[in-house]
Amino acid sequence: MSAARVMMSTTTTTIGGGASSSLLFKAAAASPFFKPRSVSLCFNNNTKLVFKKRGFACSALYRPHVQIKEEGQPETLEYRVFFVDNSGKKVSPWHDIPLHVGDGAFNFIVEIPKESSAKMEVATDEIFTPIKQDTKKGKLRYYPYNINWNYGLLPQTWEDPSFANPEVDGAFGDNDPVDVVEIGESRGNVGQLMKVKPLGCLAMIDEGELDWKVIAISLDDPRASLVHDVDDVEKHFPGTLTAIRDWFRDYKIPDGKPANNFGLGNKAANKDYALKVITETNESWAKLVKRSTPAGELSLV
């Protein structure tokens, strides 16, 4: 790949709470790809970045500026979205961004913005786990139609492929971080960090593997204060739970594959159950990075 084709961006904006950050978000130009954001990482008492000793229950009390850097052109095989710290060192969005942000909220990293179809995902088998577009047989992958919500992952979670979940037909984890479907009205950007609260979850079974879909809403959404559990979603976002389930059930059908199935009675479980899933997968991640669970081809850097 020639140097002329490589595009890098290292600008940052602040992702704190309050009106000033909201204005920054609104001022950013809409894009199907990312807009740089700063992220929250864990600090020790001397306010130094802590990457080697990762705690799986850390709270992000400090908000240093962390840059996001693109390498390559969007919608090419070379395109990557990396996270870097203040010194320019690359860090992992999966391992180095904390799960918890306090007060029952969690960090959510947007991989696929709502109303887009490029299948972006954290590359769990590449060093520093950048976000890239998924491929199949050497070609970039797209969903057959746009996804209608912001979609991405919860950092510091992992669905253990060696664990057969007795509550979901004994299905094994899919070897990925936990997925999030964020139902707010704003369209995110690839690599954007949002603070969200979980509202419920769906137990999708994809070719025999358990692939949790946590349903959540950004705390910045105007209706976030109205929804606290799945019943509230049905009240204030009528039809959304069914639409999410049907979308993930059917999206493979146009490619000639069978529909996906769901456990837990084919319905969205409540917030408490979603929090249980998050806790369990956070603990699985902790075992993974401590090397007490085999990592296989996964990158732990």
What is each CA distance from 144 to 27, 32, 251, in whole angstroms?
31, 16, 7
Which residues pair with residue 69 across a beta bridge?
Answer: 82
Number of H helices, E strands in the chain: 4, 18
Q: Which residue's entry shows tokens 């395109």? A: 79
Q: What does the radius of gyration of the chain's CA atoms come to, in whole angstroms?
A: 18
> Hey, is 128 helix, strand or coil?
coil
User: Could you tell me which residues come within 8 angstroms of residue 63 by beta carbon, excluding any fewer than 6 positions away?
Assistant: 14, 15, 16, 38, 40
Name the nearest CA neighbour of 206 among 173, 183, 180.
173
Residue 161 CB-density burial (10 A; 0-12 exposed, 13-18 middle, 19+ buried)? middle
Return the bridge partners of 209, or none: 172, 206
Cβ neighbours, 10 Å, residue 9: 15
Task: State how far the Cα of 10 lies from the Cα of 170, in Å rounded to an integer.
Answer: 44
CB atoms closer than 10 angstroms to residue 231: 14
In the numeric block, which tokens belong to residue 271? Answer: 């917030």
Burial 60-74 (b: 16+ CB within 10 A, else e): beebeebbbbbbbeb
Q: Which residue among the candidates 62, 79, 143, 151 is catalytic per the annotation?
A: 143
Q: What is the biggest distance separating any 2 CA atoms in the chain, rounded to whole angstroms?
A: 55
* Residue 62 known to be catalytic: no
- Interatomic CA distance for residues 156 and 286, integer angstroms: 8
Residues tagged active-site: 143
